[in-house]
Amino acid sequence: MDFWREIFTLNRTIIQFVYGQVFFVLGLVIIWQSRRHSRLELARSLGWLGAFGLIHGLHAWGDIFIPIQAQYLSYVWIETLRLIQVFLLAFSFVCLFQFGAETLYPFYPRLRWLQVVSAGGLIVWITALLWISQVIRWESEQLVVYANVWVRYALGFPGALLAAFGLHQQTRQRIQSWGFFHIVQTFQIASLTLALYAILGGVFVPPAPFFPANIINEDVITNLIGMPPQVFSSLAGLVLVVSVVRGLEIFEMEVDRRIEEMEQAQILQVERERVSRELHDGAIQTVYTAGLIAESMRKKVDEDSLLATHLEHVISALRHAIRDLRQFIVELETDVSGENLVEELRNLAEDPHLQSLIKVEMSVDCAEDDCLSPIRTTHVLAIVNEALSNVVRHSRSRSVWLTAERCNGQLEITVADDGIGFSDDHVAGFGLRNMRDRARLLGGMLHIKPRPLQGTQVALTIPWDDPR
């Protein structure tokens, strides 16, 4: 026991550095992998957990660098740095508490008041600190120790427990429903680790001459097991980093699922249009021809005969069949909410699902009330939608620029990206053949070429007026 105690005492600086590093890395990873437009509620709360990691890591490193600076700075400056260090601890616990409050709010709306508890607790803590320093005038060393202990009890312990419970609820009630079971397991490990950290960081506090800090503190644990609590906190932080990093794969899986949904929707729409064309050009024409034959036969038979009555029934049934087929074709057509092209293009570019996958910038040089016929609007939107889908699926770009311009009786629409360009397979794909077919139906042309610097440009040029 004495051997291990001596080992950890001699390597306290290394332990403290690792302790700070694991939490700092946790914050960097979460902020780097954040998904502001994710449909998961957890994504909108993870920033608080990332802020906790960054600030808590800086606080832990203070135990390394402040003693080094003591050799060069005055006593006043060193005590100021220690106050700053304990303030960093307080702010980190506020972020952790806020993470827990925001993850729980979707399930318990009545607990919305929890989102202001951390800020209120911080204000009370700062007020008490200022009052003690100015009225009671404690020594700065004593003030720092007491402030450290109080903030761990008041914010650290409940904040970590709240964060653990909130992450558990998000995992059980949201992520589990998506079917990502290995992600569920990693986040459950993360929530258990946060609960463990509540004890390590919020119960095992620096020694202080009041209950319970005089009974359960860092020194007691170190003397009891031969290792400081920071060792276990570092291990807990490492487990938290690994589990959260693995859990953040859910955002990539979410993107893959959205792309798959877009592809399925595009395939479904193409199939609907194929069926619609076949019904219009095949089935309806056949039924219509049969109706004409039945009507010609009806004219050649006696009106009072039984055959004439049967032919009337056949003609009526064929008319009903044509009406039903036409209604079915209408239902298969693309749903366009209006004929305003600018409005429809803007709705397409500002689709939150698309914006969550790539940054779309739109520039329009057309009048807001410019309209095409419904069928031409449908074809134009289908071409633009396919171009944007190709950017998401294949280009690996960060931004895409959608421009529309009406000039000299023509409509020119361009979709340009800053991705990796295109291959011959992509240019010869079914989706692009469908885009070219639509362009020909519109009496225009579709050009696909590399951008001058990087990426691909898809340019559609069609006459504004419907060609006759």
Domain shared by 28 and 145, yes or no: yes
State the number of CA atoms in the 13 A half-sphere of 459 facing the CB. 10
Q: 210 lies in a domain? A: yes
pTM exceeding 0.85: no
Same-domain status, 420 and 315: no
Residue 327 sits in the same domain as residue 359: no
Q: What is the pLDDT of residue 428?
A: 52
Domain containing 57 — which CATH number? 1.20.1070
The pLDDT score that the predictor gives to residue 265 is 67
Please indicate, yes or no, whether residues 282 and 243 belong to a single structural domain of this protein.
Answer: no
Q: Quick one: pLDDT at residue 169?
A: 93
Q: Which residue has the higher pLDDT, 168 or 12?
A: 168
Task: Say how many domains are in the chain.
Answer: 3
Co-location of 363 and 283 in the same domain? no
pLDDT band at 112 (very low <50, low <70, confident <90, very high): confident
Any domain includes 52: yes
CATH number assigned to the domain comprising residue 367: 3.30.565.10
Residue 23 is assigned to a structural domain of this protein: yes
Q: Which of 214, 247, 280 is the last residue of a domain?
A: 247
Residue 336 pLDDT exceeds 50: no
- Mean pLDDT, the chain, rounded, equals 83
Do residues 321 and 356 share a domain?
A: no
Question: For residue 156, what pLDDT is reported?
Answer: 95
Place of tokens 């340009």: 416
Asked whether residue 253 is assigned to any structural domain, the reply reads no
The answer on pLDDT for 57 being more than 90 is yes
Does the residue 252 lie in any domain?
no
Distance CA 445, CA 438 (A): 9
Neighbours of 404 (CB within 10 A): 23
**Model pLDDT for residues 201-241, shown as the tens digit of each residue:** 999 999 988 889 999 988 888 888 878 888 888 899 899 99
Is the C-alpha dihedral spanning 422, 426, 432, 433 positive or negative? Answer: positive
238 shares a domain with 95: yes
What is the structure's pLDDT at 35?
Answer: 56
Q: What is the pLDDT of residues 357-402, one digit of tens each?
A: 788 899 888 876 777 777 788 788 888 888 888 887 777 788 899 9
Residue 133 maps to a domain: yes
Q: Please report which confidence band the pLDDT of residue 353 belongs to, taking 50, 70 and 90 as the band edges.
A: low
Same domain, 354 and 295: no
| Residue that finishes a domain, picked among 247, 277, 294 | 247
Q: Domain check: are 364 and 302 in the same one?
A: no
Residues 453, 306: one domain? Answer: no
Enclosing domain of residue 359? 341-463
Do residues 298 and 360 both lie within one domain?
no
Q: Are residues 189 and 72 in the same domain?
A: yes
Residue 256 lies inside a defined structural domain of this protein? no
Is the pLDDT confidence value at 94 over 70? yes
Whether 254 maps to a domain, the answer reads: no
Mean pLDDT computed over 48-57: 95
